[in-house]
């Protein structure tokens, strides 16, 4: 056994549909609508909850989900695509690359608990057009990693989701918060045994 589990695009369901989409067993394309986003309250004081989200449901407590994203078509500020765990409008987790300008973009993640979002980012060059993500679950704790090559994953975030202990829904999303539209491409999707290993350092109190 190589640690891979069964992943089928047929198990994915829309929370919200995009302007256009194309779904094949090994490739998903999502074309965004303008003024679509996911954000809750913090700093900007607005709430936007209309991004296209395509997910599957599971009660499995330990697993990892991997996907390669291609956002070559992004060209307007905040155009983005990536992974998501969308539970409801006030509880969700996402990671993506957000276009900023022709010099740099933001590689980052957002955790939204009980209606308040945060945003943790790092700047990366604007010529980066693909990114791999690995989303891992250990009960109600979560880890997001990224990789340029699909092999050497680096940790982006470890977080606790207050409403993430039971059945969850997870998958992919794309959106264009400003007046723009682009086509995001998702490939190499896979479910595996949990690649985020149990902590072996300091023991809990």
pLDDT in tens, the chain (205 residues): 357 788 999 999 999 999 899 999 999 999 999 999 999 999 988 899 999 999 999 999 999 999 999 999 999 999 999 999 999 999 999 999 999 999 999 999 999 999 999 999 999 999 999 999 999 999 999 999 999 999 999 999 999 999 999 999 999 999 999 999 999 999 999 999 999 999 887 776 6
Please spell the DSSP secondary structure of 1-52, one letter per residue.
Answer: --SEE---GGG-EEEE--SEEEEETTEEEEEPPBT--EEESTTT--EEE---
**Could you give all domains of the chain from N- to C-terminal order, each with its CATH number?**
4-192 (2.60.120.200)
Structure tokens at 5: 């589990």
Q: Are 174 and 69 in contact (CB under 8 A)?
A: no
Q: Are 94 and 76 in contact (CB under 8 A)?
A: no
State the pTM of this model.
0.95
In the Cβ-directed half-sphere of 157, how many Cα atoms lie within 13 Å? 25
User: Residue 153 and residue 140: Cα distance in Å, rounded?
Assistant: 21
């Amino acid at each position: 056994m190589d640690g891979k589990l069964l992943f089928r695009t047929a198990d994915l369901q829309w929370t919200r549909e995009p302007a256009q989409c194309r779904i094949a067993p090994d490739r998903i394309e999502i074309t965004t609508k303008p003024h679509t986003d996911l954000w809750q309250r913090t700093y900007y004081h607005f709430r936007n909850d209309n991004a296209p989200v395509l997910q599957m449901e599971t009660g499995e407590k330990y697993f990892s989900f991997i996907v390669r994203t291609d956002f070559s078509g992004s060209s307007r500020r905040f155009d983005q695509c990536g992974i998501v765990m969308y539970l409801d409008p006030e509880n969700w987790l996402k990671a993506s690359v957000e276009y900023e300008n022709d010099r740099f973009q933001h590689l980052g993640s957002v955790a939204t608990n009980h209606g308040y979002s945060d945003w943790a980012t790092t700047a990366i060059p604007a010529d980066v057009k693909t990114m791999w993500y690995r989303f891992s679950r250990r009960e109600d704790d979560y880890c997001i990693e990224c990789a340029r090559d699909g092999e050497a994953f680096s940790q982006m975030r470890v977080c606790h989701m207050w409403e993430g202990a039971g059945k969850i829904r997870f998958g992919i999303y794309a959106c264009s918060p400003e007046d723009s539209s682009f086509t995001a491409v998702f490939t190499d999707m896979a479910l595996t045994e949990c690649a985020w290993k149990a902590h072996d350092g300091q023991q809990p109190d």
